[in-house]
Structure formats: structure tokens, C-alpha cells
Amino acid sequence: MPLNQTHDPELRSWVASANNANSDFPIQNLPFAIFRRKSDNSTNNEAFRAGVAIGDQILDLAAVYKANAFPKSLAPTLHTLTQPNLNQVMALGSSEWSRLRLQLSQALSQGASEETELKACLVPQSQAEYDLPAHIGDYTDFYSSIHHATNVGKLFRPDNPLLPNYQWVPIAYHGRSSSIKVSGHEFHRPLGQLKPPHKDTPVLAPSQRLDYELEVGIFIGTGNDLGHPIPLDEAENHVFGICLFNDWSARDIQGWEYQPLGPFLAKNFASTISPWIVTMEALAPYRQAWTRPADHPQPLPYLDSEQLRQQGALDMHLEAYIQTPLMREQNAPAERIALSNFNHSYWSVSQMVTHHSISGCNLRPGDLLGSGTMSGASEKSVGALLEATHGGKKPITLTNGEQRTFLADGDTITLKGFCQHSNAPRIGFGDASATVLPAMKM
């Protein structure tokens, strides 16, 4: 995607908080979410609708539509943003997304004639609650960090850690969309069959090896017809945007059930998504060349192109934080336990989309792809406790002296992400946070 006036690093907004260098949401970002105002009552009858983040505020797009603050030609698009999910606007396509982004950028810029009218359409983020940004019809989780795949392989298959197909084909499994929740939720530790190493038969018990996964979520915008694959260089035109994603995993359940068909109960009990979707156009300044080591197999032609090689990767910093019950009791802040980057991905966003469709599979607006755990080569950049603790053999020690091999009840994991370099402002993704509750009694 070419750079345009919406990416200008000198652009400033009349929303003062958006001009803070540390803000996740400067005017160059403008991500989308589904929100409503919090209520003091147990029942909140206010409708969920779309908003755009600007500084510490949300521009209420239903209010913008009602105020007729934008040109009439955008009214049909704005009407889709009065709905309780983003699926309709996702279906409109990249040219319409870009047109809306340009109008938002112009109207929120310093000196804009719309300032007085749009001030009445702002809602402080501190007063908002969020819902899933889209109805997620289908969810597919990829396995696109070769470092993660190798590290996990060494734990389970020391003699053959990386299976031969990994460097040829983007590996994935179809997950459970019904248990994906927006940031801020709680979930119970899952029950499942476990096979303790000292027992001859499995038992039904709560997972003792609960883990987080530091991932990126990829939302499909426009779909494709059944039987019509999406060409690689057109793939990102079908992507509405990117968010943060935590695919919680019960490693002991997974170890017993995953052969021969892969994850099932180990993954279907909870996944956490950030409320904000950063559009692909907003991410244009942070693109990087995509490379494959010369001594590795090169992609088959349908997964390779000059465009991919020039700008297929994304420089997106990823972080994971933990806050234990003791830390909350002591009013201690969450502690960072991982720092990684989406540019560690062995397979690009476009390759994931194209490969998913190459069989003729029809993707639909709101479908979600997970990147898989994003781990780098260093110890501090691994995106799961399974890797950080070498399968539970080497606990991590927190600043307060607490140790973790896997997650304890009451632990909160928060994922964060941002893009930043010298020629473009920092843009963030908000966070994806959830807390582990004790297992339900059997």
C-alpha cells in the first residue's frame, strides 16, 4: 500500500492527547473497535457500535452518522458503522476503507472545520466497554514462527524437532471461534484428559500446565468465492487489519490429545483478542523486506513474488506481561516476561491468506487468522511459557521472587504491541488481557 497524506509524521490532531509521543492512538493510526459507554446499573441498554481511537478518546461513528458531519457520499459507509459489529464495513473493500480513513484523518486534523461538531461525538476511552470487533464465523490458527516450531519440536521430538513440511507449507489448524472473547475477561482453568508420566491410564483433571501464546490476529475483510483462490499479490487487499491475540493453551491436555489430528480441548476453552483493529493502510510505513534464508527451501511460486520480497514483513513489536495475585495485593505493576516481533514470522500475512484459499476455501468478512506464537531466537523473545521454562523444567523468576513454570490461578496475562521507527510515529494496538480463574468443580 502506498504512503499518502494520512501517514504524514508531522500531522497533528485537535484531540490533544493524540499528539502525545507515547500514545497508542495518534492521528496516523485510527483503529476501529466496537464499544459502548459503561453503565453504573447492572443492565446496560446502550447499543454497541463502531468507534475510532484518537488519543485517549473514541470517535463515536454512530454519532458522526447521526450528525451528518461527513460528506453525503460517505453516509452508506457510516451507516454500516452504526451496527454492533464491523462485518458490513469489512465487506466493502480496501478502496472504501481508504476513503473513510482519509475523511477521518482530515476531520480530526488540527484546523479541521469539523472540530466543533465532532467534539460532541467523542467518548473517553476510560468510560467505554468493548465487544468483539466482528462476528467471527471461522477461526484458523497458523504456526508461523520457525523459532517457536523448533523450540516446541525439541521438547516433544528431540531427534526430529522440525518436520520436513514446515519449510514448505504454512501449517495451521481450525480452531473454535465461540470461545474467543474481547480483552478484560476471565476464564476458568480447563478440565481435560491428562496422562501423567507415572500412570498407565489417563485421568480427568484440571490442566496443570496452562500457558499463554503471544500472537497476532488477522481479520479478513472482503472474502472470495468458493473455488476461487486469492492470488498472493492481491491477498492483503482482502485483509481489514491486525490485532493482538492470545490463544491460551493447556499443554498437558495438548500433549495427550494432539496426535494424530492436532489440538482440540487444549485450545478450545478460551482465546483473547484486543478490541482495536489497526488497518493494513495504517501499517504501511512499518513494512519490511520479507526474506527466506538462502539455504532454506524457497516458497513454491504461488507463495512467492517480488512484492512479497520487497515489503511482505511487518515490524511490529510484541510484549507479554504478567501480574500475579501477590503483585496485585502489593499494588505492583505487571512485569514484562517476553519481547518479540512479528517480523520473526516465517510466513507472511499474504502467504497465510493465499495458502488458506488455494484449495478453493471461501474466506468471509470477519474471519480470523491467528499467526501462531511469535517467538524470536533469543530466550527473552519466546512467546510462551512452554519455551521460556524448557517444558516446565526451568522456572522463570519474577522481580518479587515468585516463580512460574506455567500459569497459576489468579494470574493476569496482558499482551501489547506497537510499531515505531525514526521516520514514522509510534502506533499501538492497545492490549489483550485476561485472568485465570480456578477450574470449575467436576
pLDDT value at residue 60: 98
Q: Note the pLDDT of residue 158.
A: 84
Compute the residue count for the chain.
442
Q: From CA 54, how far away is CA 7, in angstroms rounded?
A: 14
Distances 213 to 87, 194, 374, 419 between C-alpha atoms, Å: 26, 20, 8, 20
Q: How far apart, in whole angstroms, are the C-alpha atoms of residue 256 and residue 125?
A: 43
Q: What is the DSSP letter of 152?
A: H
Specify the pairing of strand 139-142 against strand 368-370.
Answer: parallel
Q: 3-state DSSP call for residue 428?
A: strand
Could you give the domains of the chain? 5-131 (2.30.30.230), 139-437 (3.90.850.10)
Cell of 5: 497524506
First and final CA of the chain: distance in angstroms? 52
Dihedral angle of Cα 367, 276, 404, 261, to the nearest 10 degrees: 0
Model confidence band, residue 258 (pLDDT cutoffs 50, 70, 90): confident
- The pLDDT assigned to 191 comes to 97
Residue 118 has pLDDT above 90, yes or no: yes
Residues 376-397, buried b or exposed e (16+ Cβ, 10 A)? beeeebbbbbbbbbbbbeeebe
- Give 273's DSSP letter: E
And the C-alpha cell for 290?
520479507
pLDDT, tens digit, for every residue of 347-376?
999 999 999 999 999 999 999 999 999 999
**Banded model confidence at residue 241, pLDDT cuts 50, 70, 90:** very high
**pLDDT surpasses 90 at 43:** no
Is 148 annotated in the active site?
Answer: yes
Question: Quick one: pLDDT at residue 70?
Answer: 96
Mean pLDDT computed over 36-56: 92
Chain segment 130-188, per-residue pLDDT in tens: 999 999 999 999 999 999 999 998 888 888 889 999 999 999 999 999 999 999 999 99
Per-residue pLDDT at 15? 98
pLDDT at 275: 98
What is the rounded average pLDDT of the residues 230-235? Answer: 98
Nearest of 389, 366, 392 to residue 379 by alpha carbon: 389
Quick: pLDDT tens for 385-427: 999 999 999 999 999 999 999 999 999 999 999 999 888 999 9
Q: What is the pLDDT of residue 24?
A: 97
| Whole-number average pLDDT of the chain | 96
Which helix H or strand E contains 207, and what residues bound it? none
Pairing of strands 180-182, 412-421: unpaired
**Chain segment 285-336, per-residue pLDDT in tens:** 999 999 999 999 999 999 999 999 999 999 999 999 999 999 999 999 999 9
Set 7, 147, 148, 238: catalytic member: 148
Amino acid letter, 208: Q
260 pLDDT above the threshold of 90: no
DSSP assignment of 305-349 equals -HHHHHH-EE--EEEEEEE-HHHHHTTPPPEEEEEEEGGGBSS-H
Helices (H), 162-321: 251-257, 306-311
The answer to whether 221 and 97 are in contact (CB under 8 A) is yes
pLDDT digits (tens, 9 = 90+) for 14-40: 999 999 999 999 999 999 999 999 988
pLDDT of 42 strictly over 80: no
| pLDDT for res 159 | 83
